[in-house]
Structure 1
Amino acid sequence: MKNIVIIGGSKGIGNAILLQQLENNYIYNISRNAPEISHSNLKHYTLDVMKNSLPEIENIDTLIYCPGSINLKPIGSLSIDDFRNDFEINVIGAVKAIQQYLPVLKKGTNPSILLFSTVAAKLGMPFHASIATAKAGIEGLVKSLGAELASTIRINAIAPTITETSLSAGILRNDRMKENMKERHPMKGYLAPNEVANMADFLISEKAKSISGQIFEMDYGIVTFKI
């Protein structure tokens, strides 16, 4: 049984990971809202990662940072605060969590960190300037820390295409928009949270003990293929 800290495990991808890991591991969830589940293997802390101090946790094997944003605007409509807020949520929050828990993680069993990027960091997409900039920061962080922590802690990131969560509800708000989104992807689909949770399960497991500093695109072909 591993001790897993999930930041942002009450909704979306983070919640899918939490539910998948809960039966066989002890989960510390940190988010503004509590998950809609109670379990003997779950301890929840209600707080805002950007505003509040993170709790002291004595034993950690895995840290997963899930908070993100979808802020799609033309560059002329994006304010400096938009860029700053997206960077704070996606990058500074992750750095804050890593710095807080790094000493404990180093003592863990097969310790690992998992972060999240986006396909928009590699695929030029209109109106993604702010979020793509922030997530590119995440990818740089993974590469740099992968090297720095190579002898002690593995760190990887998943870069999903659009995933059906509350965060993307405005983009997938009706059947027509969902079908159009599927057609945009060469493999004619987009992600469900449990698909991303399955990749997370692999990356934090012993099966991935040789893998660090990598960005894994889950893209339904939108980055990989030109068809």
Structure 2
Amino acid sequence: MSTAYSGRFAGRRAVITGGASGLGLAVATRIVAEGGNVVLWDMNPDALATAKDQSGATHVVALDVSDQAAVEQAAADSRDALGGGIDILIASAGITGATAPVHEFPLDSWRRVIDVNVNGLFYCNRAIVPVMLEGGYGRIVNVASVAGKEGNPNASAYSASKAAVIGLTKSLGKELAGKGVIANALTPATFESPILAQLPQSQVDYMRSKIPMGRLGEVSESAAMVCFMASEECSFTTASVFDTSGGRTTY
């Protein structure tokens, strides 16, 4: 379904978190096909090795984004691997957490979701924005979710974390406006990806039922949107949110 745009990312250098599978891998493959160089970050070293071969990535880093020191080191290593700069950050690493009502939600799961989805994404933005400012150019895509707009029952940690991603991105985009660095968020509805394996089928069915198109999204559909957001074509929209929700969200 995807269509590569020849040379759209020629000379551009990207870091993609959660890059070993799903949306991160799909975006990496497109950016490389369109002329860019990519470094993949992910927790799974075995999957990273496979993803590097599949996508044509320049370099990979195995790390947990909730480890701030590891993120700082990865940013420095990635900058070097990419020839001294980073033009694009796709922050797509995330976890779903437990499926349970708020009053029964496991505390360890709550903390882990916030650590990865909010703190980890913040660490990645914090580490890479100065590199972009030095180069006078940057595109940041923080992957949130429609759950951050609407909330999903029995998914309070995930919903809260993705609402935080939206708020952080809006703040960051306003801070960077006029400095050559653009920051936007993506809010997809549920699409086919490995993260669904973390959820019971009943939760997946609930999310599908809320999509007016009556189906889950395809990873290629969100990847296409991300690639626009990460390109020079996205030049006058920042601190904003792009939906790929099959009609679920309209604001």
Please, what TM-score do these two structures have when normalized by structure 1? Answer: 0.88
Per-residue CA distance 1:96-144 (angstroms, 9 max, x = gap): 1122122211133641111011111222421121111111111110111
Structure 2 CA distance, aligned partners of 1:217 and 1:133? 18
Partner residue of 1:13?
23
Structure 2 CA distance, aligned partners of 1:127 and 1:177? 8
- The one-letter code of the counterpart of 2:156 is A
Of 42, 61, 70, 1:45 maps to 61
CA contact (8 A) 2:96 2:198 kept: no
Of the structure 1 ranges 9-18 and 45-54, higher mean CA displacement relative to structure 2 is found in 45-54
- The one-letter code of the counterpart of 2:39 is Y
Give the alignment of 1:72-111 within 5 angstroms: 72-108=99-135, 110-111=137-138
Of the structure 1 ranges 15-24 and 163-172, higher mean CA displacement relative to structure 2 is found in 163-172
Structure 1 CA distance, aligned partners of 2:191 and 2:85? 31
Q: Are residue 157 (structure 1) and residue 185 (structure 2) matched? A: yes
Q: Are residue 208 (structure 1) and residue 234 (structure 2) matched? A: yes
Give the alignment of 1:1-227 within 5 angstroms: 1-23=11-33, 24-33=35-44, 34-36=48-50, 37-38=52-53, 41-51=57-67, 52-53=70-71, 54-55=73-74, 56=76, 57=79, 58-71=84-97, 72-108=99-135, 110-152=137-179, 153-169=181-197, 171=199, 182-224=208-250
1:133 match: secondary structure: helix
Of the structure 1 ranges 38-47 and 159-168, higher mean CA displacement relative to structure 2 is found in 38-47
Structure 1 CA distance, aligned partners of 2:224 and 2:128? 24
Percent identical across equivalent pairs? 26
Tell me which protein shows more helix as a share of its residues. 2
CA contact (8 A) 2:196 2:204 kept: no
Task: Give the CA deviation at 1:7.
Answer: 1.3
Per-residue CA distance 1:184-223 (angstroms, 9 max, x = gap): 4211221111111100010011111101001112111123
Structure 2 CA distance, aligned partners of 1:166 and 1:195? 16
Unaligned runs of 5+ in 2: 1-10
Unaligned runs of 5+ in 1: none
1:69 match: secondary structure: coil
Structure 1 CA distance, aligned partners of 2:152 and 2:22? 23
> Number of aligned pairs?
223
CA contact (8 A) 1:4 1:27 kept: yes
Task: Give the CA deviation at 1:82.
Answer: 2.3
Task: Give the CA deviation at 1:73.
Answer: 1.5
Task: Give the CA deviation at 1:84.
Answer: 1.8
1:44 match: secondary structure: strand
Per-residue CA distance 1:42-97 (angstroms, 9 max, x = gap): 21112222233432113110111111122221112213332221111111111111
Partner residue of 2:8?
none
Task: Give the CA deviation at 1:160.
Answer: 0.8
1:168 match: secondary structure: helix
CA contact (8 A) 1:4 1:64 kept: yes
